[in-house]
Amino acid sequence: MPPAAGNAVSGTGNANNTWRRNNNGNANLTPVSFSSASSSQHPPFFLGAPITKSLCIIWALGSFWIIRTSTPSEREYDYINNMSNTSGVSLLFKNIIKACYFVNPSEAMVGLAFLANYMRRLERELSSRRMVVWLMTIEAVFVLSQMVAIATLDSEVAYGFTSQVRGPYWIAGGVLYWYWMYVPRLHPRFLSLPTCGMVFSEKSFGFAWAAYVLLMGGGASLLVGLLGFLGSALFFFLLMLPSTSSNNGTGSNSNQQLLPMDVPDSIVNMLPWDALGSILLVENPPKVFAPLLVMNAGRNNNVDIGMGAGLGQRRQWHVRPQPTAPPLPPPEAIAQLTAMGFGEQQVKEALQATGNNVERAADRLLTG
């Protein structure tokens, strides 16, 4: 939150800065930049979603390069799939390349906006490690489906099934499943049409946006999106499997999932986080202003300086009282929000921040 009004004293200097007394109340003033306060009020869009941030950068650069360097006829010709090798490794390579760009400006703008908005929310709920496993799961389902189509279907049908779509539409289909199953409706009667007898919630706009994105490439992109939808359903099915309890030798039981749904620590430690973190993958925590002193807190006992020559008194500085600990969240509210798919720790923090208000906590979890 920004500093209190009484915590800043105007002084000479840069017009973009304000001056603040030190903790002892002395006249030694230090400049405080307004830009820092504004950045704390408006955190980065991709804060807490480094994987989504990296993918959006790749999609934006790839789409710009394809649109800039090729003609519409060249974009229609899929030179990547002009290869006779149909092995799993070859299909995986082709899918990764084709998923790095959109072929025209309209698809790039609409599709990138949809994926950036909803994938950052998905990553904040899953965590970055599970986001990687989620992407690998739907990619595996996509590749296996292509291999089955090539082995069983007619060559022309198989080509249309595997080669006509260029764009991350399977990822959009996976996001659609999460949005359908795990994003609650906050306003069930958000929009109503009394003449037709239809009522829509606020989720209808997300469904319409997803449908438009998946239909931008025609029936082929819709089919690829359906495969991503099924791959995402498989991931969440495996994620929701009951965990097994095991004794770790210290007398306490620990819950372990049947399948590893997180990237192991051994792999994470191999990555050059120190080199790449400051560029893409690590966000600095937002700066939170918590002034320790409040100027002129007892306003009824003091007179402001400037009311008259010799009539004013010096403003007194008082220590801000420490806030009391908020009440513990009720178990019923925790159970209600965790049933929506949020983590228990996230739910507790949201409830404490909103005064144990379930509706405000749900809105806080959804909007990040």
Look up the CATH number of the domain holding residue 222. Answer: 1.20.1540
Same domain for 173 and 220, yes or no, is yes
Kindly state whether residue 246 falls inside one of the protein's structural domains. no
Kindly state whether residue 248 falls inside one of the protein's structural domains. no
Yes or no: say if 130 and 262 are a contact pair by the CB < 8 Å rule. Answer: yes
Same domain for 23 and 84, yes or no, is no
Angle between helices 128-152 and 88-98 (to 10 degrees): 120
Same domain for 61 and 198, yes or no, is yes
Q: What ranges in 8-87 are assigned the alpha helix state H?
A: 34-41, 50-69, 72-76
Same domain for 80 and 208, yes or no, is yes
In angstroms, the CA 221 to CA 164 distance is: 8
Q: In one letter, which amino acid is 151?
A: A
Over residues 54-75, the pLDDT tens digits come to 899 988 998 888 888 766 555 5
Same domain for 336 and 353, yes or no, is yes
In angstroms, the CA 335 to CA 361 distance is: 13
Chain centroid, CA 178 distance in Å: 13
Same domain for 314 and 231, yes or no, is no
What pLDDT sits at residue 7? 40
Give the CA count within 13 Å in the CB-facing half-sphere of 351. 21
Kindly state whether residue 102 falls inside one of the protein's structural domains. yes
Same domain for 153 and 171, yes or no, is yes
Same domain for 312 and 346, yes or no, is no
How many structural domains does the chain have?
Answer: 3
Kindly state whether residue 270 falls inside one of the protein's structural domains. no
What pLDDT sits at residue 334? 87
Nearest CA among 126, 165, 164, 152 for reference residue 343: 126
Q: For residues 51-84, b (16+ Cβ closer than 10 Å) or e, as one string?
A: bbbbbbeebeebbeebbeeeeeeeeeebeebeee
What pLDDT sits at residue 79? 42
Same domain for 84 and 227, yes or no, is yes
CA dihedral 185, 176, 209, 66 (to 10 degrees): 150
Phi then psi for residue 11, to 5 deg, are: -155, 175
What pLDDT sits at residue 156? 64
What pLDDT sits at residue 247? 52
H/E stretch holding 225 reads helix 218-239
Q: How many CB atoms lie under 10 A from the CB of residue 131? A: 23
Over residues 157-190, the pLDDT tens digits come to 666 555 667 888 889 999 999 999 888 888 777 7
Domain that holds residue 313: 5-43+286-319
In the predicted model, residues of the chain with pLDDT beneath 50 are 1-39, 77-85, 251-252, 281, 283-314
What pLDDT sits at residue 301? 44
H/E stretch holding 253 reads strand 253-256
Report angle CA 267, 272, 274 to the nearest 5 degrees. 130
Query: Which residues is 253 bridged to in the sheet?
Result: 247
Same domain for 300 and 197, yes or no, is no
SS3 247: strand
Largest pairwise CA distance in the chain: 97
